[in-house]
Chains A and B, each alone.
Chain A
Amino acid sequence: MNKADLIRAEEKKTPKRTIDVVRAGLAKRYRAEGRFKLYGLGAIIISLLCLAILFISIVGKGYPAFQQTFIQLEVFFDPAVLGHENLSSANFPGLVKKTLRNMFPDVKGRSDKRALYQLVSTGAAFQLREMILKDPGLVGKTVSVWVPADDDVDMLMKGHFDRKMSESGGRLNNKQLAWIDALSRQGKIEKRFNTIFFTSGDSREPELAGIGGAASGTVLTLVVTLILSFPIGVAAAVYLEEFASKNRWTDLIEVNVNNLAAVPSIVFGLLGLGVFLNFFGLPRSAPLVGGLVLTLMTLPIIIIASRAALQSVPPSIREGALGVGASKMQMVMHHVLPLALPGMLTGTIIGMARALGETAPLLMIGMVAFIVDIPTGFTDPSTVLPVQIYLWADSPERAFVERTSAAIIVLLAFLIIMNAAAIILRKKFERRW
């Protein structure tokens, strides 16, 4: 037996050392590690890609709505047309028509005139009315006014209509196209920033429709929801997680909370109808009721997330606090709650995001409605942004398509602002141990 054989025999006899086993598998394990990391990154990239696609499609469709075509009219506030006594109910549409006739004096015939009148929005008359009511001294003077163009003209100017279609049943006929071309040669038609979209309430005329009312309703509703659901949700979670003894009663509450999270949102609408409207007699279509219903809907989400956050606070923190003589309440309030707050805020963000985008429960309590006047109080009739989006998405007029997307952009802006606020808070509290 030589030495080499001896060693080989020795190796056969003694078991392999652990380190060798580890080393042998190391390359494979590192590869698995790399793959695992890649999966994670891949998952995030997929999600962000979806987000990007959605954003691009929304913004791409919606940004033209931030502009609106206006037509310049030289309006002579003719006392003969307006009359003298009651200016508020004077014939302003007639004034608009007369102005248009003056601009195109060679238009004859009833149907041609009608076609001409269709170039400007019906809102032009309201605009003139407001000017006169603000300054009655304008009667008898000539003023140059930019009034919104009709939605069809607007769509044409934005390139959504094919000019070739015009005679075969398009929305605008050839004469109208000629007039529009004449106007644009004179510089009397142009696209401007669409302030109407941000300031006014709903309208059936796309060029006059705005999200002011819906946005205001959303703010009012969400204020109610946030103010009620966050404290109540956190309080409920704290009680269930920290104080309640584990018995049937708390089990019941826990199952209940989880179950409520799965209840379809429209059922909360039925609840709101039955309890808040019929039993408590609160007014229909009010942000107060909407907020209450959305509170009940978001509560389970906040409670579940808050409980998860409380559970993840290590016992050592609690024991430490109790050890230096804190009462249970002090331990929770001073030590556990601040540490759990980031998780609770995450839950609240998600819950509020859901409340922000919800339509179905509001249907039953009358918030899926046409509301022109902008709500200012918690009981004024109002609607919210997702409902506005839903209603516009269902409107036949083509111009509502881009306004729908624009309203979605605004809703997302709302969402991002809310998230940003919560993230700042969360970063303040987040900690790792």
Chain B
Amino acid sequence: MAKKTVLLATALVFIFVVSTGVVNAQSARDYISIVGSSTVYPFATVVAEQFGKTTRYKTPKIESTGSGGGLKLFCAGVGVEHPDITNASRRIKKSELEKCQSNGVTEIVEVKIGYDGIVLANSNRAKPMKLSRKDIFLALAKEVPDPKGGEKLVANPYRTWKDVNPSLPNIRIEVLGPPPTSGTRDAFVELAMESGAKKFDWLAALRKKDKKAFKAVAHTLREDGAYIEAGENDNLIVQKLDANPNAVGIFGFSFLDQNTDKIQGSYVDGVQPSFDAIASGDYPLSRPLFFYVKKAHIGVIPGMEGYLAEFTSEKAWGPDGYLADKGMIPMPDAERYKYRADVAKLHVLTALK
């Protein structure tokens, strides 16, 4: 009898909860929904928090889904069940823009928010590495020009940094970096590897002649264990570097900024990564960050204008703004003004240049 009562009670509670779920599922959305890149996430969240705490609106919800996943959700359509804004660590692709348009998301506002520096770093206990982009290319490409000379490619023969460049230390090449699905990797390959490859005259000539063949050389990282795909958790890379002084890591500038007592940035072409060096463009490796706004949702989802205004205000993305404190590299003044004006006018992205 007692057991039966327990059973009955459980069943009743069960039905109760399921039904309350059904009841509640119909409430409307009164907050901004943002999805997208995990690289932009730490910056967008600061703005969202400021916005939520200083206005009467709720704090926007920001999901970390990756740029691709974010754009897919964003482009799925107009309406409350779809996100209002997506963050991206790369520009929207043509195919994605078309997908958006075919789903009725015809008016998208593109906002560039600043730059993220990409740094190479190693443990403080070792000497700082003084690399050139050519060194990076030779150390990490899957196929490199034959060291014996001649215009042909061989599988990367270099085992130690000293093999690559006699001025570098005699330690095994061990680089922890992002996987091929990452935008950081994409930008790194573009900025460091490609310009490293261009240092070889015949590869530069190849680039003019057959762009695809050149990129196939420059964009493929070696897979023999010297380059270790370490996942997207940059803190983990920092800790692994701390544990292994011989390794070099590739990650975003903000992680270097926060861990200067453990790791040091490697010189690239004679410049050590620092806030000012990246902002002035002296340090060569940085990439732009974006977010995309659904114009149809502006004025309908509560707080959209306010969030945009907060993000594009000087106190957020300016050189002394709170985003800079978090490690984002601000855009030059002219570019900032342009994008602020674009946002104010809700300038719609029509076609990709």
Name B's A-contacting residues (CB within 8 A): 3-4, 7, 10-11, 13-14, 17-18, 20-21, 24-25, 27, 29, 31, 33, 35, 38, 41-42, 44-46, 48-50, 52-56, 58-59, 61-65, 81, 232-236, 252, 254-255, 257-261, 320, 322, 325-327
Contacts and interface: CB of A to CB of B under 8 A. Distances in A.
A369 B260 contact: no
Contact of B27 (A165, A170, A379): A379
A396 B24 contact: no
A223 B17 contact: yes
Nearest to B4: A333
B260 A171 contact: yes
Given A283-B25, A396-B327, A89 B61 contact: no
A220 to B, nearest CB: 10
9 contacts: A230-B10, A231-B10, A288-B24, A369-B61, A369-B64, A370-B63, A372-B53, A373-B52, A381-B31
Given A204-B49, A333-B3, A394-B234, A224 B63 contact: no
Contact of B234 (A89, A162, A396): A396
B123 to A, nearest CB: 14
A39 interface: no
Given A281-B81, A333-B4, A227 B58 contact: no
Given A114-B320, A381-B61, A203 B49 contact: yes
A203 B46 CA distance: 8
Given A370-B41, A373-B58, A204 B46 contact: yes
B52 to A, nearest CB: 6
Contacts of B232: 394
A227 B9 CA distance: 11
A107 interface: no
A224 B7 CA distance: 17
Contacts of B59: 371-373
Contacts of B42: 204, 395-396
B320 A394 contact: no
Contacts, number: 128
Contact of B24 (A337, A379, A394): A379
Nearest to B48: A370
A370 B45 contact: yes
A196 B145 CA distance: 58
Interface in A378-433: 378-379, 381, 391, 393-398, 401
A186 to B, nearest CB: 27
A260 B212 CA distance: 44
Nearest to A89: B54
Count class of interface residues, chain A: 35 or more
Taking each of B14, B56, B59, B320, which has the highest tally of chain A beta carbons within 10 Å of its own beta carbon? B59
Given A122-B322, A203-B49, A369-B64, A224 B258 contact: no
A169 interface: yes
A366 interface: yes
A338 B3 contact: yes
A37 interface: no
A401 B52 CA distance: 25
A363 B258 CA distance: 27
Nearest to B80: A283
Contacts of A370: 41, 44-45, 48-49, 61-64
A288 B4 CA distance: 28
B320 to A, nearest CB: 7
B322 A378 contact: no
A231 B11 contact: yes
A334 interface: yes
Contacts of B325: 118
B81 A165 contact: no
B63 A285 contact: yes
Given A231-B11, A370-B45, A397 B64 contact: no
Nearest to A334: B3
A95 B261 CA distance: 33
Contacts of A283: 25, 29, 81
Nearest to A203: B49
A126 B64 contact: no
A227 B19 CA distance: 13
B148 to A, nearest CB: 42
A236 interface: no
B236 to A, nearest CB: 8
A224 B260 contact: no
Nearest to B82: A284
Taking each of B53, B234, B259, B327, which has the highest tally of chain A beta carbons within 10 Å of its own beta carbon? B53
A350 interface: no
B261 A231 contact: no
A356 interface: no
Given A369-B61, A381-B33, 20 more contacts: A165-B261, A170-B260, A281-B81, A334-B3, A366-B63, A373-B59, A378-B17, A378-B24, A379-B24, A379-B25, A394-B232, A395-B42, A396-B42, A396-B235, A396-B252, A396-B254, A396-B255, A396-B258, A398-B258, A401-B235
A368 B3 CA distance: 40
A170 B264 CA distance: 11
Contacts of A288: 21, 24-25
B89 to A, nearest CB: 14
A146 interface: no
A377 interface: yes
A257 interface: no
Contacts of B235: 393-396, 401
A282 interface: yes
Contacts of A282: 25
Given A231-B14, A393-B233, A397-B258, A372 B52 contact: yes
